[in-house]
Structure 1
C-alpha cells in the first residue's frame, strides 16, 4: 500500500452510526471512500440523498459511492484500506467477505468493540491487520442519517499494528483518521483494546439491561456499584491475560496504576466527556432495533478469560445471564432488573 500517493482507495465495511460518520469525514476531506453496508434501505438512502451526519452544533452531508453486500463480488480494483465497523460478532464473516478485494499490501482496521483484532488477523494475516480503539457516542434510527454526539475534538481513536514490523506504516493511516478525531499511536494495541473492553463491560450491557441512558444508569440506585464491579472484574481479566494498564481516550499518563482506581477514573471520564444526557449505549440501541448485542464479546469475554485462569466473575456472569434472557424474549429491559445484577 503506497499511502504517499494522494488518495488511497478506502472502504468502510459497516456504515452504521459510527462507520457512516467517520466515513463521511473522509469523503468531505476529498478521500476516495466507498460505503458498504448490510442494511439495504440505508444504502439506497445514501445513493439518493448522500449520507447526512447530525453533529452537536452542525450538520454535514456527503455524496459517496455506496454498495450493498452483494455487490462486493463485483469490485474490480482492490482497496488499500478497509475500515471494519461492524458488530464484534460479525467480524469473521465480514473479514472473509472483504478479503478478496483487499490489496496485497493493504490493511484492515478494526474500529470495533471487543478483542476483534485477532479474528481479523486470522483471516487476512497479522501483517495486514491494524487494531484500533474507538470512543464516539452516536446513534442511527433512520436510513441515510446518523447522529453523532461527539464532534472532531471530542472523538478519540488509538491505532497499532499487530505485526510491529508494520508499525511504521500505521502513522499514515492515523493521519487519515485524524480527519474524524484525535488519534494516538500505540505499540501495545492489545492492552489498549483490553482497557476499552474494561470500560465497555461496565457500561454497555449493564445500562441496557435496565433500559436507560448511560448517565441515568450511573445514577440509578445500586447501579453505579454494579457497573464499577463489572469493570473491576474486567480489569482482573485483562491483567490475568497479560495486558498492561495504560491510559486511553485521551487521558493523561499520570493515571493511577491501581487497577480499581484506574477503572473509576476512566469510567468517570467517559461519563463526563463522551456521554450526553440522552446517550444510549450501542447495546441498548441494538435491543431497541430487535438485534442482539455484543454480550459474549464483552462481558462474556471477561467471564471466559477469568474462568481460563480458574477464577470467577460473578457480576459479569450475572450480566451475561440476564442479557441472554432478554435476548431470548424471556425478560424485558427495565429499571427493576438492577436487582438481578446484585449479589444473590
Structure 2
C-alpha cells in the first residue's frame, strides 16, 4: 500500500529536481519550492523534464516561489531539503511553520547538516539521506541524472541509529527514485560520503575535470588518498565508524600513505569505482561554472574545522579550501596545473 504523505521538496536544483521527477511520476502528493524564479515558472508552464541514461520524461508537479508559501499555507509530513549547505539554517526556520506535528525534515544535501537542522527544529524532526546518485541542472526546468538507475541512489537513517516506522515509510517513497537502503549508522555513512565529496568536488573545481576523469589521473588518485586520510584521522578521533569510502575500507587510506602495496590496492579500487559513477560534473564544479558560491567550506572545510577542534592537522584539505576560494573570486582559473599549488602532507 502506498504511503499517502504530503511531501515538499525545498530546493529544486540537480538533486532536488531528480528526486522530484521520480516522486511525481510515482503520483506522490508533492509540492516543489525553489529560489530560482525562472525554474518555478518553467516547471509550472512546461513541466519538469528529466534526462537519464535510461530514459527521458516530463512530469507536472506543482511548483511554488518562496513568497507563495505564506499565502497558500501548505502543511507537509516530509520536507526534503536539497538546498546548498550554507542555506540550511534559514531554510529550516522558513519552512518550520509548514511542518505537520509528526512531520520531519530530510537532509538530502552534501556535507553533514543534521546538527544545524536540529538546532532549529529539534532532533525528533531530523532524518538523514545520503545521496549516491549523480545529477546536473544547467537550464530551468530540466535536470539530468548522470548515473544509472541500477546504481544505489539513497541511504537513509535516523541520527539515533534506531529503526523506525517513518524510515520504512520514507524508504518506500524514495524507492521510486532508485535503490534505497536503510542504515543504522547514519554518521558513518555521512562521513564516508563527505570523503567522496571532498575527494572529488573541489578537485573537479580546481582542475575542470569531470567525475570519472578524476579517477583516471594518477596524481589526483594520490591526492585523493591524502584528502581521505586526513578525514579518516579526524573521524576516528571523533569516534565515528566510517563506512566504506566508495569501494575502499576507510582505514586503508592512512595505511596507504605508509605502504606502497596498500596504496596500489586503494588506487585500483578507486579506478574500479570510477567506472560506474557516470559522466557528470560534481556539484561544486557545476557551481563554479555558474558563478555561484561553492560548498567547499562545508566539505573539505568541515574536515579542517573538526581537525582544528581536535588539534589534528589537515594541511591538504586546508590548502584545497584556500585554492577553491581563489577560483570563486576569479583570481585563478580551473586547470590541472593548480594541483601543484596544493600543500602536501
Same fold by TM (over 0.5)? yes
1:166 CA displacement: 7.2
Tell me, yes or no, if structure 1 residue 37 matches structure 2 residue 40.
no
CA distance 1:325–1:256, shift in 2 (3 Å)? closer
Corresponding residue of 1:271: 274
Could you say if the C-alpha distance between residues 6 and 112 of structure 1 is closer, same or farther in structure 2, counting changes exceeding 3 Å? closer
Per-residue deviation, 1:169? 2.1
Residues 215, 44 of structure 1: CA spacing in aligned structure 2 closer, same or farther, 3 A cutoff?
same
Q: Where in structure 1 are there 5+ consecutive unaligned residues?
A: none
Q: Determine whether 1:107 maps to 2:107.
A: no
The match for 1:47 is 44
Give ranges in structure 2 of 5+ residues lacking alignment: 257-264
Q: Distance in 1 between the 2:30 and 2:181 partners?
A: 22
Alignment partner, residue 318 of structure 1: 319
How far has the Cα of 1:257 moved from its partner?
Answer: 6.1
- Following superposition, the deviation at residue 113 of structure 1 comes to 0.8
Q: Hey, what's the Cα distance between the residues in 2 that align with 1:227 and 1:342?
A: 13
Aligned twin of 1:97: 94
1:82, 1:265 → 2: CA distance? 39
Q: Kindly state the Cα deviation for residue 265 of structure 1 after the two structures are TM-superposed.
A: 7.5
**For 2:251, which of 232, 245, 258 is the aligned residue?**
258
> Which whole-Å CA distance do the structure 1 matches of 2:19 and 2:41 have between them?
19
Instruction: Tell me if the contact between 2:53 and 2:145 (Cα under 8 Å) persists in the aligned partners.
Output: yes
Instruction: Verify: 1:160 aligned to 2:157, yes or no.
Output: yes
Superposed, 1:323-342 pairs within 5 Å as: 323-342=324-343
Equivalent of residue 87 in structure 1, options 76, 84, 87:
84
Once the two structures are TM-superposed, the CA of residue 245 in structure 1 deviates from its matched residue by 2.7
- Which consecutive aligned stretches of 4+ in structure 1 deviate over 6 angstroms post-superposition? none
CA distance in 2, matches of 1:187, 1:93: 28
Tell me which residue corresponds to 2:143. 146
How big is the shift at 1:266?
A: 6.9
Q: 1:266 to 1:168 in 2, by over 3 A?
A: farther
**1: CA distance between counterparts of 2:266 and 2:198?**
11
Superimposed CA distance per residue, residues 196-222 of structure 1 (whole angstroms, 9 cap, x where no aligned partner): 101111111012101111222333452
Deviations 1:122-179 (A, max 9, x none): 1111111101100111111110001111243224211111245673321111110011
After superposition, residues 100-249 of structure 1 pair within 5 angstroms as: 100-163=97-160, 167-220=164-217, 222-247=219-244
**CA distance in 2 between partners of 1:246 and 1:37 (Å):** 33
Superposed CA RMSD: 2.1
Total equivalences in the alignment = 335
CA distance in 1, matches of 2:252, 2:95: 38
* Deviation for aligned residue 1:332: 1.6
TM-score, normalising length: structure 1: 0.91
**Alignment check: 8 A CA contact 2:216 2:271 kept:** no
CA offsets 1:226-285 (integer angstroms, 9 cap, x no match) = 122111111212112211032477x6xxx6463417975874454122232xx2111110
Deviations 1:46-89 (A, max 9, x none): 01110000011310110110001111222333100010011111
Q: Is 2:105–2:125's contact at 8 Å kept on the other side of the alignment?
A: yes
Q: Specify whether residues 213 and 77 from structure 1 end up closer, same or farther in structure 2 by C-alpha distance, changes over 3 A only.
A: closer
Distance 1:96 1:166 in 2: 27
Aligned position for 1:290: 291
